[in-house]
Copies of this chain bind each other. A is one copy, B any other.
Amino acid sequence: MNANQHPATPPPAAIPADVHCAQDYETLASRYIAAPTLAYIAGGSGRGVTAAANLASFSDLAIVPRLLRDVSTGHTRRVLGAQPFEHPLLLAPVAHQKLAHAEGELACARAAQATDSGIVCSTLSSHRLEDISRLAGPRRWFQLYFQPGRNATLDLLRRAEDAGFGAIVVTLDAAVQAASLDALQAGFRLPADCVAANLRGHENLSSPVLAGNDSRIFQGLMRDAPTWRDLDWLMTQSHLPVWVKGVLHPQDARDLQQRGVAGLVVSNHGGRGLDGAPASLRALPGVRAAVGASFSLLFDGGIRSGADAFKALALGADAVLIGRLQLYALAAAGALGVAHMLKLMREELEVCMALAGCPTLDDIGGDALMPAAPLLP
C-alpha cells in the first residue's frame, strides 16, 4: 500500500461534531483523506475545468420562496423506472471506494438501506457486487461498463441480474479518461489493495496493435469503445431495464429514447470525462426538452446540497445522484457518515420544497427558479 494513501487521521466512530450541512463533509474532507487521495477524488480530468463548472453552475440560479401554501402532507416520494423511491437522492456509482474507507461500498450500501436511498453499484467497486447487493436494500441498481469482449460484459450483466439489482445503468461517457493534473502532481497512485473486485479473473485482452500511421486514440483506445450496435446487443441480452449514463447532447438523448432505453442520466462523469465538457446543469434543460416531460431523467454533477438537488429537479431531473459527497462522508464516518449526509441532504431538499411551496416533487417546476444574475440587461 502506498504510504501517501493513508488517511491523515483514523476515521472516527461518530459523526463529526462540526458537520452542520451535507456540504460540510466536503469542507472537512482533508481531515479524513490524505492529500494525494483527496486530489484524486476531488479532481476532474485535466485541469478540472468541467468539475469546477459543475459547481459554479448552481449559483446562477435562485429559488423563489412561496407563501402560505399548506405542505403539511408533503413528501419526497417518486417512482423511478417502475420502482417506488422514498426520495430522489441516490448514491452515485463511484469506483474504488476503499480509497476512502476500508468498508468502502459495503458501508455505502448499509447507509442506502438505512436511509431508504437508492444506490447504484459501480462496475469498479472494490468489493464484489454480490456482497454489496446483500446490504443495499431494495433500491439498488448496477452500473455497467462495457468490457473488452462481450463475454466479460455478459458475465457482469448476469451476475447483476442474479444478485437482484433492479436496473442496469450503462456508463457511456468515459471511453477515454484523462487523469487529473492535480492528482498527477500530488503523486497519487491507486494502492495495491484497491482492485476492481468484480473484474478478478477477467482475462487481460491484448491492447490493439497500432500500424505506423495509426492513432493511439482513434485506432487504439477507441477501437473497442461501445457503439450503437453494442448498446442494441446489450438491450437484447438484459433482463433488466437499461439506463444510459453520460448524456449531455439533446440529439443523443432523443436517439437513446427511440432506442428504447429505460431512462437517461444527464452527467459529465463529475468532470472526469472530457475536460471542457459543459456543466451537467447547463445541459439538463436541453435534454429534458428533447425527451419530453414524462421520460425518466436522472442527473449528476456538482450536487452538494438539497438546494442543488432542488434546482436540478426544477430544471427537469427526476432524481439526482451524489458522488463525491458520498466519498467524503464515507471517509469521515463510514456507513454512519454516509447515512448522515443523506439525511441532511434530504432535509435540506425538504426545506427548499417547503419554502418554495412544493409539497411534492411534481410541484417543483421551472417557475420555482429565477436567474441569480443582474437585474437589467
Instruction: Among A276, A282, A350, A372, find the residue whose CB has the most chain B CB atoms closer than 10 A.
Output: A276
A residues adjacent to B (C-beta < 8 A): 18, 20-21, 23-24, 46-47, 49-50, 53, 57, 59-76, 172-173, 175-176, 178-179, 181, 184-185, 215-219, 221-223, 225-228, 230-231, 244, 246-249, 251-252, 256, 268, 273-279, 281-283, 285, 305, 307, 311, 315, 347, 350-356, 359, 369-377
A74 close to B215 (CB less than 8 A):
yes
| Contact residue among B61, B64, B285, B351 (Cβ-Cβ distance under 8 Å from A283) | B64
Query: What is the CA–CA distance of A349 and B366 in the complex, to the nearest angstrom?
Result: 37
Q: Which residues of B contact A73 (CB under 8 A)?
A: 218-219
Contact of A21 among B181, B223, B247, B374 (CB under 8 A): B181
For residue A370, which residues in chain B have a CB less than 8 angstroms away from its CB?
A: 278, 282-283, 376
Say whether B68 contacts A231, CB under 8 Å.
yes
Contact partners of A352 in chain B: CB under 8 A: 274, 276
Besides the contacts A18-B185, A273-B355, A275-B307, what 16 more A-B pairs have beta carbons closer than 8 Å? A57-B375, A61-B375, A63-B274, A65-B248, A65-B274, A72-B225, A74-B215, A74-B217, A74-B219, A175-B354, A217-B351, A217-B353, A222-B354, A276-B352, A282-B372, A373-B374
With a cutoff of 8 Å between Cβ atoms, the chain B residues found around residue A315 in the complex are 375
Assess the B62–A176 pair: CB atoms within 8 A: no
Residue in A46, A65, A256 whose Cβ sees the most chain B Cβ within 10 Å: A65
